[in-house]
């Protein structure tokens, strides 16, 4: 009767640092075989347990700037003293193969992506409160007090960009937040404009034949 578009959907998760988008991202990937992860490139140093080519592509600032000149990024931004960017080629490859691709990126990057990908699915992840956000940043134990204050101030500004997204999910309980994002993805897959072909004439003929057979 109908078939979905062969190309996958681009799903963008972003929100303030400490909102928990990384945790939600990992849970979504673990529970949906059709989802693919986009690996970002960054000039920041790896945190404990992070692996190059798995969590990020860790490069020098010089290497990153060379990729900018080549036009290799879907988006890139300079955030908290480091560059972050999404390599374009692997994302396009997965989308063309019919997979949905999740980008977990900052607000600057998400708005860049939206300029050229209006059909993407943009989800803003919110902390339950600013107090909780502050506590999460402190519990990380990976940054100085000055860095935490800088991220907290940035979060206030970033929340004002929420109206530019399609959806907002408050991350109070991770399990519930994951279910909400899964519901969003499912609903988007069922949208009429994501159906590539619907042969109405064939359906009319089938209905006519069934009615004729029924009246015999």
List, for residues 120-131, the tens digit of each pLDDT value.
Answer: 999 999 888 777
Residue-wise pLDDT for 148-157, tens only, equals 777 777 777 8
Q: Is the pTM of this model over 0.85?
A: no
Decide if 112 contacts 68 (C-beta within 8 A): no
Strands 82-87 and 40-42, by their bridges, are: antiparallel
One DSSP character per residue, 103-127 reads EE--HHHHHHHHHH-TTSEEEEEE-
Structural contact between residues 13 and 109, judged by C-beta atoms closer than 8 angstroms: no
CATH architecture group of domain 2-215: 3-Layer(aba) Sandwich (3.40)
Whether pLDDT at 207 is above 70: no
């Amino acid at each position: 009767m109908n078939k979905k578009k062969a190309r996958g959907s681009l799903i963008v998760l972003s929100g303030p640092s400490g909102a928990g988008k990384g945790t939600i991202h990992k849970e979504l990937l673990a529970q949906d075989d059709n989802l693919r992860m986009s690996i970002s490139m960054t000039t920041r140093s790896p945190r404990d347990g992070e692996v190059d080519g798995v969590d990020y592509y860790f490069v020098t600032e010089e290497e990153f700037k060379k990729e900018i000149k080549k036009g290799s990024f879907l988006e890139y931004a300079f955030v908290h003293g480091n560059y972050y960017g999404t390599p374009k080629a692997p994302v396009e490859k997965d989308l063309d193969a019919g997979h949905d691709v999740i980008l977990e990126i900052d607000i600057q990057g998400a708005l860049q992506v939206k300029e050229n990908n209006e059909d993407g699915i943009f989800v803003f992840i919110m902390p339950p409160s600013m107090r909780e956000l502050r506590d999460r940043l402190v519990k990380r134990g990976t940054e100085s007090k000055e860095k935490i204050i800088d991220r907290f101030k940035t979060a206030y500004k970033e929340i004002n960009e929420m109206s530019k997204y399609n959806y907002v999910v408050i991350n109070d309980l991770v399990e519930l937040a994951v279910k909400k994002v899964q519901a969003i993805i499912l609903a988007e897959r069922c949208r009429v404009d994501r159906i590539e072909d619907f042969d109405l004439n064939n359906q009319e003929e089938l209905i006519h034949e069934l009615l004729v057979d029924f009246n015999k």
